């Protein structure tokens, strides 16, 4: 099979244990290029661990993960090269507090990708524009709202030119009135064809943007399908219980 025919992300028989705690118990999931998959499920069900196994922030106990046809779980793989292809955005924005917004975007490009000053600045400028924050280029993170900081974190990830973006509850730490701006940046990314895996409790975002919703509980995928099916007409009792509690 040609690598262009393969799913962008392939997860095969993925298991992850922390000591005796079996957190992922056999996850199989394919995500096509340009597809947006929302992962939902109760706290502790393994959603973050799943994302972290995709970019090797956690080492799986068993199973395989392929990104763009490359097995990232291969022990000989260049972890840094893998991570460059995968952007990640966390609930906590993790910006560098002591440098400007622009430097938050240029420093990783220079250090990790070896880009020159001019090129890194140009990429930063373009990505700040993309998230609607051109006017904050010279600001420090502490001068920004949570929503603006999260948009900077997205722009920083995009500046590395990833093939895939992983979002772990990107709006969960935000005041409600700041959630919308972050979601609209993500909506726009999805429309541009980015492959995205999004852990979120924002069901309206999932219904509107996700091509597919995956419901996890107890380290397994309990139910998956189009959002209108999984969120609108769940078949499994555990999915129904969960949705009833959060909606």
Question: Which residues make up the interface to ligand ADP (CB under 6 A)?
Answer: 18, 21, 23, 41, 43-49
Query: Which residue, 40 or 194, has its beta carbon nearer to ligand ADP?
Result: 40
DSSP per position, the chain: --GGGS-SEEEEEEEEEETTEEEEEEEEEEE-TT-EEEEE--TTSSHHHHHHHHTTSS--SEEEEEETTEETTSTTS-HHHHHHTEEEE-SS----TTS-HHHHHHHHHHHHH---HHHHHHHHHHHHHHTT-GGGTT--GGGS-HHHHHHHHHHHHHTT--SEEEEESTTTTS-HHHHHHHHHHHHHHHHTT-EEEEE---HHHHHHH-SEEEEEETTEEEEEE-HHHHTTS--SHHHHHHHHHH-
Least Cβ distance, residue 111 to ligand ADP (angstroms): 25
- Work out how close the CB of 92 gets to ligand ADP at its nearest, in angstroms, rounded to a whole number: 13
Q: Find the shortest distance in angstroms from Cβ 90 to ligand ADP.
A: 11
| Nearest approach, Cβ of residue 24 and ligand ADP (Å) | 8
150 binds, among ligand ADP, Mg ion, none (CB under 5 to 8 A by kind): none
Question: Cα–Cα distance between 218 and 220 in angstroms, integer?
Answer: 6
Residue 7 burial (CB < 10 Å; 0-12/13-18/19+)? middle
Q: How far is the CB of 243 from Mg ion (least distance, A)?
A: 18
Could you say which of ligand ADP, Mg ion, none residue 3 binds, taking C-beta under 5 to 8 angstroms by partner kind? Answer: none
Q: How far apart are CB 153 and Mg ion at their closest, in Å?
A: 16
> How many residues sit in the footprint of Mg ion (CB under 5 A)?
2
Select 18 or 228, whichever has its Cβ closest to ligand ADP. 18
Q: Between 45 and 104, whose beta carbon lies closer to ligand ADP?
A: 45
x-or-dash pattern for Mg ion, window 36-55, by CB under 5 A? -----------xx-------
Q: Among all residues, whose Cβ is closest to Mg ion?
A: 48
Could you tell which of ligand ADP, Mg ion, none binds residue 143, using a CB distance below 5 to 8 A set by kind? none
Q: Which residues here bind Mg ion, judged by CB under 5 A?
A: 47-48
């Amino acid at each position: 099979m040609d690598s262009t025919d393969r799913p962008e992300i392939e997860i095969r028989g993925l298991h992850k244990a922390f000591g005796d705690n079996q957190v992922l118990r056999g996850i199989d999931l394919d995500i096509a290029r340009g597809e947006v998959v929302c992962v939902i499920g109760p706290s502790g069900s393994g959603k973050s661990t799943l994302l972290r196994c995709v970019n090797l922030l956690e080492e799986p106990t068993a199973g395989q993960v392929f990104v763009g046809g490359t097995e990232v779980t291969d022990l000989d793989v260049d972890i840094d090269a893998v991570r460059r292809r995968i952007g990640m955005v966390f609930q906590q924005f993790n910006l560098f507090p002591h440098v400007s917004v622009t430097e938050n975007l240029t420093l990783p490009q220079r250090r990790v990708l070896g880009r020159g000053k001019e090129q890194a600045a140009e990429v930063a400028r373009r990505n700040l524009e993309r998230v609607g924050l051109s006017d904050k280029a010279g600001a420090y993170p502490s001068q920004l709202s949570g929503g603006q900081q999260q948009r900077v974190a997205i722009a920083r990830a995009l500046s590395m030119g990833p093939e895939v973006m992983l979002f772990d509850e990107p709006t969960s730490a935000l005041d409600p009135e700041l959630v919308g701006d972050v979601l609209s940046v993500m909506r726009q990314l999805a429309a541009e064809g980015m492959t995205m895996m999004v852990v979120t409790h924002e069901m309206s975002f999932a219904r509107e943007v996700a091509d597919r919703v995956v419901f996890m509980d107890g380290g397994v995928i309990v139910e998956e399908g189009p959002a209108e099916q999984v969120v609108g007409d769940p078949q499994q009792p555990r999915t129904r219980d969960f949705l009833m509690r959060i909606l």
